[in-house]
Amino acid sequence: MSMVDVIARKRDGGELTAAEINSFIRDYTAGTIPDYQAAALLMAIYLRGMNRRETVDLTLAMANSGDMLDLHDVAPFIVDKHSSGGVGDKTSLAVLPLVAAVGVPVGKMSGRGLGSSGGTLDKMESFDGWSWALSLDQFKRQLRDIGLVLAGQTNVLAPADGKLYALRDVTATVDNGSLIAASIMSKKLAAGADAIVLDVKTGSGAFMPTVEAATELAQLMVDIGEDAGRHVVALISDMNQPLGHAVGNALEVREAIDTLRGGGPEDFWEHCRVVAGYMVLLAGKAATLAEAEAMIAAARADGRGLAKFRELVVAQGGDPRQVDDPDRLPKARYVEPIEATRTGYISAMDTAELGWVCVRCGGGRMVKSDKIAPGVGFILPVKIGDHIEAGQEIGQIHADDDMTLQQAQRDIPAAITVSDTPVSPLPLFYATIIGKSGKGQ
């Protein structure tokens, strides 16, 4: 295969064959195609696009570039979820144990925080001793024993994605639907999922700022999953404001525990119930979404979800006393009020900026080597549509030093737009895309 010919054909708007895509991924992963030729092809794809068949072929080639997990010797059917990331999105912490508690095995590989979005592994590391580093044997054993695993991503799964993403990041080729979809779905396919629920965020705190862009990406990922023989559902969900009230690692863990205990913010529980319901539905444990959601609600009400979460913490070395008594979780040195600066109705939030406030407090990483302060962050119960008064306490900031505390007290109100006229609350979900092999409602 001549890489120059392949680059030229895509540059001119032509299609690449499956054999050419497979050769490119195989040889680039092996190091025999130089970065400059790979970068040229990525830019040609970015500018000219890929059709559905090419995108599926690219995804499958990336998925097959390393190990492909087969978990069927320990679980007959595996359901996974993916969130495109957001502020206050601690959904996995509540959803995964609830789904596992009703008898649906969940083996999930998660990542760390990215930009203003928090990472599931960072949140779980709020538990003393908890570890995400599991061998394949440990992963399978835990999946067999308790039906729930939450591990870190490994370089042996879809290694082509890691190389390509690093190159895309420095060649201005990140923001392309086919490349984004292939990156996400290749890892999910390699991780052994039979069914996948995609939670695609849209809004001021999301990678996809508009409902239209989020829907287009979601449809493409559903199509890829379908062509790869997986059951897939995509939910287009709102990220124009933080999900729930808590933003920050230990604060979000506490909110997830509160939710599993039957409390927690209503918007967060509603979101979890729907996502978990679709996971149960895709697994064939319920005939309708309503039945699946009722099963999830029952597992929350009778404590099975919380018990399963505790099992997860214990199985991976964490301290169960911190589940039983969340006051044992890490805390910030200072807790001070956040006050509204004007009277009116909350009409918008710069949710990405709110996420960056948490990062600047030490709750995320500005550079890869940064150490996270697990106790910092903020609690922000107010939502778009709420009426607030100037000087009213609208939340609390949790910080470890006076400088970041004072800065956050200024930055959070500045990220909230207040209107003189009433504003309607926002929906949690905008659309649902169900693949042809998915289940109905």
Q: For 169-226, what is each residue's pLDDT tens digit? A: 889 898 898 999 999 999 999 998 999 999 999 999 998 889 999 999 999 999 999 9
Question: Cα(70)–Cα(139) distance, rounded to whole angstroms?
Answer: 12
Least confident interval from 274-278, 331-335, 363-367, 377-381: 363-367
The catalytic position among 168, 231, 271, 310 is 168
The model's confidence at residue 439, banded by pLDDT at 50, 70 and 90, is: low
Instruction: Tell me what pLDDT residue 114 has.
Output: 55
Asked if residue 265 has pLDDT above 60, the reply is yes
Tens of pLDDT, residue by residue over 342-393, are 999 999 999 999 999 999 999 987 766 778 899 999 999 999 999 999 999 9
Instruction: Tell me what pLDDT residue 109 has.
Output: 84
Instruction: Tell me what pLDDT residue 435 has.
Output: 83
Neighbours of 229 (CB within 10 A): 9
Question: Cα(125)–Cα(375) distance, rounded to whole angstroms?
Answer: 11
Which tokens in the block code for residue 232? 């897939």
The model's confidence at residue 319, banded by pLDDT at 50, 70 and 90, is: very high
Long-range CB pairs of 134-140, under 8 A, 24+ apart, other chains included:
134/316, 136/69, 139/107, 140/71, 140/73, 140/74
The model's confidence at residue 328, banded by pLDDT at 50, 70 and 90, is: very high
Instruction: Tell me what pLDDT residue 371 has.
Output: 84
Which tokens in the block code for residue 151? 């591990």
Among 27, 15, 26, 13, which residue's Cα sits nearest to residue 60? 26
3-state secondary structure of 288: coil
Instruction: Tell me what pLDDT residue 166 has.
Output: 84
The reply to whether 168 belongs to the active site is yes
The model's confidence at residue 119, banded by pLDDT at 50, 70 and 90, is: confident
Instruction: Tell me what pLDDT residue 118 has.
Output: 64
The catalytic position among 183, 186, 204, 237 is 183
Residue with tokens 């996809």: 208
Q: Is the pTM of this model over 0.85?
A: yes
The reply to whether 304 belongs to the active site is no
Asked if residue 240 has pLDDT above 60, the reply is yes
Asked if residue 422 has pLDDT above 60, the reply is yes
Residue with tokens 């910092």: 376
The reply to whether 161 belongs to the active site is yes
The catalytic position among 10, 82, 254, 300 is 82
The mean predicted confidence, pLDDT, of the chain is 94
Instruction: Tell me what pLDDT residue 40 has.
Output: 98
- Identify the structural domains of the chain with CATH numbers, from first to last: 3-49 (1.20.970.10), 79-324+429-434 (3.40.1030.10), 331-419 (3.90.1170.30)
- Percent of the chain clearing pLDDT 70 (strictly above): 96
Which tokens in the block code for residue 96? 């995964």
The model's confidence at residue 95, banded by pLDDT at 50, 70 and 90, is: very high
The reply to whether 245 belongs to the active site is no
The reply to whether 231 belongs to the active site is no
3-state secondary structure of 408: helix
The secondary structure of 190-246, three-state, reads HCCCCEEEEEEEECCCCCECCHHHHHHHHHHHHHHHHHCCCEEEEEEEECCCCCCCE
Tens of pLDDT, residue by residue over 49-94, are 999 999 999 999 999 999 888 999 999 999 999 998 889 999 999 9
Instruction: Tell me what pLDDT residue 112 has.
Output: 61
Which tokens in the block code for residue 384? 């778009």
